[in-house]
Amino acid sequence: MLDHGGRLRQAAITYNIPIAGWLDLSTGLAPYSWPLPAIPAQAWQRLPESDDGLEQAAREYYQAENVLPVAGSQAAIQALPALFPRRRVGLIEPCYAEHRHAWERAGSAPVSLSGDEIEDMLDAIDVLVMVNPNNPTGRVFPPAVLLDWHLRLASRGGCLIVDEAFVDPTPAHSLAPYTGTPGLIVLRSLGKFFGLGGARLGFVLAEQRMLDLLADTLGPWTISGPARHVGRHALADQPTQQIWRKRMHTDSQRLASLLTAYGLAPQSGCALFQWIPHASATALHRTLAEQGILTRLFDQLSALRIGLPGSETGWARLESALAGLSPEVLCPH
């Protein structure tokens, strides 16, 4: 199993701080609470059925012709490689490590691409996998560029797979409306923008033939009745979506400014987190953790990913911890 953010129980043990005492900035999930509907008893009692309005709400929210709900986009990440046997795969890295893990488990050896050499490499691969906006760097490739790559791959029977788990705050960056055509697969998640990581709900958007293959692999009843109910409401709740989008952009700017003010200017970021490569990333991570502030350390890249505090108390705690960082940690030699 790969390591991920959000392992608060582990941090509580390592740093001997009770769970309730932590400010968890390690995940990149929205730190606010979505207004959840009451869950009808039937959602618990009956086997879930697909004509309950979830798919329709998703088609409208994503502006996509075909949608397949999955138990978190992670379920699709794990299942997709089996549908592309013996294909040459390229993966833009660094990115969410589960992609490489899944392709390697399926017997493929994805070529690692930085993103800048795709134009030259595209003819040497059949499937290009990428995360847009990227996690953990926040880098965004414009849709027009991706659509061009898709055309080139699809003209040879290839495929572009775009993990858009973090695109909801900036819907104009999404390829969702183009997914009815062959050779384009988009993955979406209700875990990040909607802050519903525990519901385990995501969507695959692609041509129907591809979704049928995937549905067949995943089997029946993959989404629980309560998750379907909550997901349908969240996808249809445009007023909350608009308020959250605005709030996230404001908070993301505030986080970038705060980090910059204390000598940790982010290299990049998106609405849900900032990306800070730093020579002392490990020491910074430890120093903040000792004060009950959990960030996500990428030790091989010597970088931190820091998510949004969800309350004024959280902001004040972060600011006071940043203000207390010693010059030796901030500027080693």
| Residues making contact with ligand PLP (CB under 6 A) | 72-74, 96, 131, 135, 163, 165, 189, 191, 197, 202
Direct distance between the N- and C-terminal alpha carbons of the chain, in angstroms, rounded to an integer:
36
Q: Which bin fits 228, alpha (ψ -120 to 50), beta or left (φ > 0)?
A: alpha
Cβ proximity to ligand PLP, 104 vs 123, nearer residue: 104
Whole-number Cα distances in Å, 96 to 11, 62, 107, 131, 278: 21, 22, 19, 8, 20
Cα atoms in the 13 Å half-sphere on the side-chain side of 189? 27
Q: How far is the CB of 222 from ligand PLP (least distance, A)?
A: 12
Distances in whole angstroms, Cα of residue 32 to Cα of each of 144, 149, 296 = 32, 36, 19
In whole angstroms, the minimum distance from the beta carbon of 130 to ligand PLP comes to: 10
Distance CA 238, CA 242 (A): 6
178, β-bridge pairs = none
168: CB partners within 8 A, 6+ apart: 188, 192, 193, 194, 241, 245
Of 17 and 61, nearer to ligand PLP (C-beta) is 61
- Shortest distance in whole angstroms from residue 113 CB to ligand PLP: 16
Separation between Cα atoms, residue 265 and residue 216, nearest integer Å: 47
Tokens of 60: 């409208």
Q: Where are the beta strands (DSSP E) in the chain?
A: 23-24, 67-70, 89-92, 111-113, 127-131, 159-163, 184-189, 202-205, 268-270, 273-277, 293-294, 296-298, 303-307
For ligand PLP, the closer CB: 128 or 321: 128
CB of 327 to ligand PLP, least distance (A): 33
Query: With respect to ligand PLP, which residue has the nearer C-beta, 203 or 317?
Result: 203
Q: How far is the CB of 29 from ligand PLP (least distance, A)?
A: 8
φ and ψ at 127, to 5 degrees? -130, 125
Residue 113 phi/psi, 5° resolution?
-120, 145
Name which of 135 and 287 has its Cβ closer to ligand PLP.
135
Nearer to ligand PLP by Cβ, of 28 and 266: the residue is: 28
The minimum distance between CB 22 and ligand PLP, in angstroms, equals 18
| Neighbouring C-alpha atoms within 13 Å toward the C-beta of 17 | 15
Query: Judged by CB, which is closer to ligand PLP: 92, or 153?
Result: 92
Residue with the closest Cβ to ligand PLP? 72
Please say which residue, 72 or 269, places its beta carbon nearer to ligand PLP.
72
> Cα(43)–Cα(82) distance, rounded to whole angstroms?
32
CB of 196 to ligand PLP, least distance (A): 9
Nearer to ligand PLP, 2 or 47 (CB): 2
Q: For the CB of residue 41, give the shortest distance to ligand PLP in the complex, in Å.
A: 26
> Considering the complex, what minimum distance in angstroms separates the CB of residue 172 from ligand PLP?
19
DSSP sequence for 269-286: EETTEEEEE-TTHHHHHH
